């Protein structure tokens, strides 16, 4: 057979082509609040070397001997208090799906763009969504880790997983990843609007507003993670826009895990101290979380509120994440349209 005849043969499987995929990826979520689902989720999460950097020789005996025997029940109970009972799923899942659907609507003018969503841990997995996008003809895929501030434990592990999904493909799609947007004016403006709008619904004024970011171990920062500096920059830009002092808008870090020192000041300790120091009215916002989840709805809106009241505080309010609000979508759409330049 001549090479031309070979080329013209119909041996080659048919391929869809010509599309551009946008894949929104958030952290993850258990399938249910029961112990089995929680264990499966935490096992995948806490086996990630980007999340727990300790040697496996040291970590696995602790993970399998203690953490996976005790934490699933405890965390499952916390999830129960914030579970989206209408849809029988976590809010992180609900909001992420809504964001993808709204993004698809906003990009519907581009007939070749397909929007999808996935989770780094649990379902739908990044690999399954990349495969689905490719089957629909996406030769280019924009992966959007839904974290305004970059951390190796969040952004990098999403990107790792996306590139890992390409490892065994003969015909890989081109992949782009979205950079952090911690200082993007559209993001800062959306946060300022949500603070102003939320505070306008109250009949009281907070003395202090905490911007509470998820923490990371201090050692990760010392190894060069830019996360801490990006959180500080977000807070500085918010202060400048709001015209507030460092005393009025303070930065804290929440969700410590394990015995190591994490980024300070800690949210829980700060909330207690404010109460003990005689501060009566505070608000907390979580600018690092694109969607409300366990860490915002349970740890802050429930736990931190309770400990503030125990410490003598009187008024506490949690400012919701941007979620699938008009302002929140404006941020995500702005970032996606910018990062798709040259592709659409
Ligand atoms: C060493 C452990 C962890 C690091 C480092 C870490 C960084 C990190 N996490 C988020 C965002 C989220 N984390 C969430 C839950 C969560 N985080 C950890 C541990 C670390 N996170 C655990 C063990 C859990 C599960 C709950 C628990 O056992 O306490 C969530 C919520 C997920 C949900 O379904 O609601 C988010 C979101 C960021 C942004 C970050 C570093 C910057
Ligand atoms: Fe976390
Ligand atoms: Fe937590």
pLDDT in tens, 273-329: 999 999 999 999 999 999 999 999 999 999 999 999 999 999 999 999 999 999 999
pLDDT band with cut points at 50, 70 and 90 for residue 63: very high
Asked if the model's pLDDT at residue 8 lies above 70, the reply is no
Q: What pLDDT shows up at residue 9?
A: 60
Interval between CA 233 and ligand 3 midpoint (Å) = 24
Give the domain CATH number at 197. Answer: 3.40.50.1400
pLDDT, tens digit, for every residue of 135-152? 999 999 999 999 999 999
State how far Cα 38 lies from the chain centre. Answer: 19
Domain co-membership, 156 together with 209: no
Give yes or no for a contact between 276 and 55, defined as CB atoms under 8 angstroms apart.
no
Rounded to an integer, what distance in angstroms lies between the CA atom of residue 41 and that of residue 121?
7
Please give the mean pLDDT across all residues of the chain.
Answer: 96
Instruction: Name which residue sits closest to atom 9 of ligand 1, judged by CA.
Output: 214
Q: What's the whole-model pTM score?
A: 0.95
Instruction: Name which residue sits closest to atom 39 of ligand 1, judged by CA.
Output: 214
Q: What pLDDT shows up at residue 2?
A: 47
Domain co-membership, 233 together with 268: yes
Interval between CA 171 and ligand 3 midpoint (Å) = 40
For CA atoms 103, 331, 81, 263, the dihedral sign is positive
- CA angle 95–183–268, rounded 5-degree value: 65
Residue 14 maps to a domain: no
Give Cα separations from 209 to 156, 267, 284, 317 (angstroms): 30, 12, 6, 9
CB atoms within 10 A of CB 60: 14
The number of folded domains in the chain is 2
Domain co-membership, 177 together with 189: no
Rounded to an integer, what distance in angstroms lies between the CA atom of residue 63 and that of residue 71?
10
Q: What pLDDT shows up at residue 15?
A: 81
In terms of DSSP bridges, do strands 19-28 and 138-145 run parallel, antiparallel, or are they unpaired? parallel
Residue 79 maps to a domain: yes
Instruction: Name which residue sits closest to atom 10 of ligand 1, judged by CA.
Output: 214
Rounded to an integer, what distance in angstroms lies between the CA atom of residue 300 and that of residue 161?
30
Asked if the model's pLDDT at residue 189 lies above 90, the reply is yes
Domain co-membership, 193 together with 255: yes
Interval between CA 92 and ligand 3 midpoint (Å) = 14
Domain co-membership, 85 together with 138: yes
Closest CA to 317 of 343, 287, 285: 285
Closest CA to 290 of 190, 202, 193: 190
Domain co-membership, 237 together with 300: yes
Residue 4 maps to a domain: no
Domain co-membership, 26 together with 108: yes
pLDDT, tens digit, for every residue of 108-130? 999 999 999 999 999 999 999 99
Starting at the edge strand that comes first in sequence, how are the strands of the sheet with 281-285 ordered? 249-254, 208-214, 281-285, 315-319
Report the SS3 class of residue 48.
Answer: coil
pLDDT band with cut points at 50, 70 and 90 for residue 1: very low
Closest CA to 256 of 198, 295, 292: 295
Residues, CB within 5 angstroms of ligand 3 (ion)? 255, 295, 299
pLDDT, tens digit, for every residue of 329-340? 999 999 999 999
Domain co-membership, 84 together with 233: no
**Which ligand 1 atom sits nearest the alpha carbon of residue 297?**
35
Range 50-57 average pLDDT: 98
Which alpha helices (DSSP H) does the chain contain, by range? 3-8, 35-46, 56-62, 68-82, 91-106, 126-135, 157-166, 185-200, 218-222, 227-242, 267-276, 305-310, 326-339
Rounded to an integer, what distance in angstroms lies between the CA atom of residue 332 and that of residue 326?
10
Domain co-membership, 123 together with 157: yes
Q: Percent of the chain scored above 90 by pLDDT? A: 94
Interval between CA 22 and ligand 2 midpoint (Å) = 24
Residue 98 maps to a domain: yes
Domain co-membership, 47 together with 96: yes
- The residue segments making up the domain with residue 261 are 185-319
Q: What pLDDT shows up at residue 6?
A: 57
Pair of tokens at residue 29: 């979520």
Residue 237 maps to a domain: yes
Stronger pLDDT, 9 or 244, i.e. the higher one: 244
pLDDT, tens digit, for every residue of 18-45? 999 999 999 999 999 999 999 999 999 9
Instruction: Name which residue sits closest to atom 40 of ligand 1, judged by CA.
Output: 214
Residue 5 maps to a domain: no
For CA atoms 208, 214, 220, 224, the dihedral sign is negative
Residue 10 maps to a domain: no
Domain co-membership, 132 together with 269: no
Domain co-membership, 175 together with 201: no
- 258 Ramachandran zone, left/alpha/beta (phi>0; psi -120 to 50): left
CB atoms within 10 A of CB 165: 23
Pair of tokens at residue 296: 């915002």
Q: What pLDDT shows up at residue 13?
A: 77
Q: What pLDDT shows up at residue 12?
A: 76
Give the ipTM. 0.92
Q: Is 295 labelled a binding residue?
A: yes
- Pocket residues: Cβ below 6 A from ligand 1: 27, 29, 45, 51-52, 71, 75, 90, 92, 147, 151, 153-154, 214, 216, 227, 255, 257, 288-289, 293-295
Give yes or no for a contact between 79 and 30, defined as CB atoms under 8 angstroms apart.
yes
Residue 9 maps to a domain: no
Asked if the model's pLDDT at residue 3 lies above 90, the reply is no
Interval between CA 291 and ligand 1 midpoint (Å) = 13
Q: Return the best residue to mutate from 28, 58, 148, 153 for the ligand 1 pocket (most ligand atoms within 8 A of CB).
A: 153
Question: Residues, the chain, total?
Answer: 344
Give yes or no for a contact between 2 and 119, defined as CB atoms under 8 angstroms apart.
no
């Amino acid at each position: 057979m001549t090479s031309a005849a070979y080329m013209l043969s119909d041996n080659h499987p048919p391929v869809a082509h010509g599309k551009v995929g946008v894949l929104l990826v958030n952290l993850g979520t258990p399938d249910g609040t029961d112990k089995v689902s929680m264990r499966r989720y935490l096992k995948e999460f806490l086996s990630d070397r980007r999340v727990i950097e300790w040697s496996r020789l040291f970590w696995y005996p602790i993970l399998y001997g203690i953490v996976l025997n005790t934490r699933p029940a405890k965390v499952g109970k916390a999830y129960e208090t914030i579970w989206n009972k209408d849809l029988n799923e976590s809010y992180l899942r609900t909001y992420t799906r809504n964001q993808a659907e709204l993004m698809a609507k906003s990009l519907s003018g581009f007939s070749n763009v397909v929007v999808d969503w996935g989770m780094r841990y649990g379902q739908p997995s990044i690999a399954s969504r990349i495969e689905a996008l490719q089957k629909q003809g996406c030769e280019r895929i924009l992966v959007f880790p839904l974290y305004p501030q970059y951390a190796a434990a969040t952004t990098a592990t999403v990107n790792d997983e996306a590139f890992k999904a390409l490892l065994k493909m003969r015909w890989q799609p081109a992949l782009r990843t979205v950079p952090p947007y911690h200082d993007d004016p559209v993001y800062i403006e959306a946060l300022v609007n949500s603070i102003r709008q939320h505070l306008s619904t109250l009949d009281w004024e907070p003395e202090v507003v905490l911007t509470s970011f998820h923490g990371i171990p201090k050692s990760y920062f010392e190894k060069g993670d830019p996360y801490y500096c990006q959180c500080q920059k977000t807070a500085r830009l918010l202060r400048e826009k709001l015209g507030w002092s460092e005393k009025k808008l303070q930065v804290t870090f929440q969700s410590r895990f394990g015995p190591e020192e994490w980024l300070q000041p800690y949210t829980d300790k700060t909330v207690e101290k404010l109460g003990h120091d005689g501060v009566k009215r505070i608000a907390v916002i979580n600018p690092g979380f694109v969607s409300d989840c366990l860490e915002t709805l349970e740890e802050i809106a429930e736990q931190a509120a309770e400990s503030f009241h125990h410490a003598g505080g009187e008024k506490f309010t949690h400012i919701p994440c941007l979620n699938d609000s008009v302002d929140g979508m404006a941020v995500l759409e702005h970032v996606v349209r910018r990062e798709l330049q040259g592709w659409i």
